[in-house]
Structures are given as C-alpha cells and as structure tokens.
Amino acid sequence: MSSRGAAFVSLLLVTCFFAGECSNAGDREREAYVTLVTTPNYIIGAEVLAKCLRHVGATRYLVALVGPLLDMNDEQRLKAAGLITRRVEDIQIFEIVELLDRPYFNTTFNKLHVFGLFDEYDKVVFLDADVLVLKNIDELFDVDISTGYPFAAAPEIMPPDRFNTGVLVVAPSKEGLLNEFYPHWFSQDSSHRLPFIYNTLQTVASYYSPAWEMLKEDIKVLHFAGDDLMKPWSFEGSLPPSLGVFLFLWQSIARRVSLWQVRAENLLSRTPAGGDIGLHFKVLNVTDPEEVNALFRNRII
C-alpha cells in the first residue's frame, strides 16, 4: 500500500473511532476537531475532550496541536487516547502577555496555528482543552464562513462585541490570523457569531446567576476559562452548586478510561482519591446527588 493510501486508512480508522461508524467518511476527510496542548497539564483536558466527542457521536476526528514543552511520552499518551497529533512551535507575544498581566497567555497564542492547517483541512472546529462538551456539536461544520472573516466565534461576557477563542469555527487559509487582525468581528454577518451555548464561560454561574439559570439546560460546550486555579484538573476555591455538578462531571469522566462506563450512582459511592488513572486533583464535594444523576441522565449517559 502506498504511503498516501496508508495515511487515508489511518484517517478513516480514527474517524470511525469517534463516529462509531464509517458512513460518509470520505466527505469528512478535510474537516476535523482541533485542540491545543501546550503543557503536560493540559493532556488530561484533551483526553476528556476526546471521550466526550466520541460519546456524543462526533463524526470527525480530533487533532491535537502539541507544543514543544511536551515530550514523546506525552505525545504518545495523546495518541493512545485516539487523538492525531501535530507538532507546532510556540508563538509568544510577550508585549501582549505583559500588557494583560496574564502569564498563562505565554503559550495560548499557539492556537493561531489552526489558521495554517490549510494543507490538510478546509474547515476545523477548534476547542480549548479545558472545555466540557455536553452535546453533539457537529452542526458547527455547517456554519457558513465563506465570506468575510475566515472564522466564527461566540462572544465574550464583557465586552460582548469581542469574541472568546475557546471555541472557533475556522476555514484555514494561507493568509491566516498572523497577517491580519479582525477588530470588526461583531459587525460581520451573523453566521460569524456563534450562540453563547457553544462557548459558555463558567464565570457566568458565579457573576450572572440569572443568565446561568436560563442557559444551563441548553449548554453544549462549557468552558473552564481562566488561569490554572480555574481548570477542572487543578481547581481551587468555591463555586455555585449548579456549576459544581459540571466540575464533578468533568473530574469523573477524567477518572475513567471509557466514558460510557460512567454511572452517577457508582461515582457517588466511590472514594475518589487517586482515581482510576492516577489523578490527584482536588475533588469537589457534591451535596446534591440527584442533581448529578439528572445531569448524567440528560446530558452524557
């Protein structure tokens, strides 16, 4: 078999891994979900993302852009979870990091590499590794971004006429984002503005409780945005119980090799310390078992 043929078979197998079937696989060959893994801390996030996409019936495979801080063992761990890996160099814009006083932005600019994937993909859905996918979002590949800016995004909480880059629909191009800035995103056609349910920031639950209560049943992608203390694998602090069940859900998925083996009744009776795969993050105490069970019944299981 030629190297090109072998590559196609490999892509087909990974597609089937996520979709659970092989129908129309050829039509999806140039579309993919893409995430970014900049440090070893984010590997567990990518693993949870892969499990969620598979379980909700995603029909495209997941590609990880792997930064230079990850070694070969780290990359192999991602491949074992079913991800296709692509090595990328760090894009560091120190002036912006210093201006915003957010050191964790040092490597987050690596996601700009998604605009340079034009040799392999016509359209990608980029997902930060710190999101929790609760429902199938394959419809994002149908978003029309053929005119205007080559991406679609959901709004920031504040200001809402700016976009958050945790979830993006992108048409990679040679021009890319590195050679052009997009200050007028909000004035583009509405197809470039994704509904907030595709990138709901967890801070809504803490600071905008009426909006959270209105949104939470419809959320498709929950984004644990912010610094390391706000990530589900290293969370410290307090948060509303209605958000706590989602954090508990993420941590519970992370402990299991197979998402479909997760059952709420088992989670609530299990001593979580250590976990099934040697995790040692702080575990949230859930005070409302029925709410967790409902979340599993309605969203994941």
Peptide bond before 289: cis, by omega within 30 degrees of 0?
Answer: no
Q: Which two tokens stand for residue 288?
A: 């409302």
- Report the top-level CATH class of 14-195: alpha beta
| Average pLDDT over all residues of the chain | 75
In the predicted model, is pLDDT for residue 277 greater than 70? no
Q: Say if residues 167 and 128 touch (Cβ distance below 8 Å).
A: yes
Listed in order, strand segments (DSSP E) in the chain are: 31-37, 62-66, 84-87, 123-127, 131-133, 151-155, 163-170, 200-201, 221-223
- Summarised one tens digit per residue, pLDDT across range 203-223 is 888 888 888 888 888 999 999
- Summarised one tens digit per residue, pLDDT across range 138-168 is 999 999 999 888 899 998 887 677 888 899 9
CA gap 159, 209 in Å, rounded: 18
Q: Average the pLDDT over 23-41 and give the result.
A: 82
CA gap 50, 62 in Å, rounded: 7
Q: Average the pLDDT over 229-240 and give the result.
A: 79
Q: Say if residues 40 and 52 touch (Cβ distance below 8 Å).
A: no
- Summarised one tens digit per residue, pLDDT across range 7-23 is 433 443 344 444 444 44
Q: Give residue limits of the domains in the chain.
A: 14-195, 200-300
- Summarised one tens digit per residue, pLDDT across range 94-123 is 555 555 555 555 566 788 899 889 999 999
In the predicted model, is pLDDT for residue 235 greater than 90? no
Residue corresponding to tokens 């905008």: 208
pTM of the model: 0.72
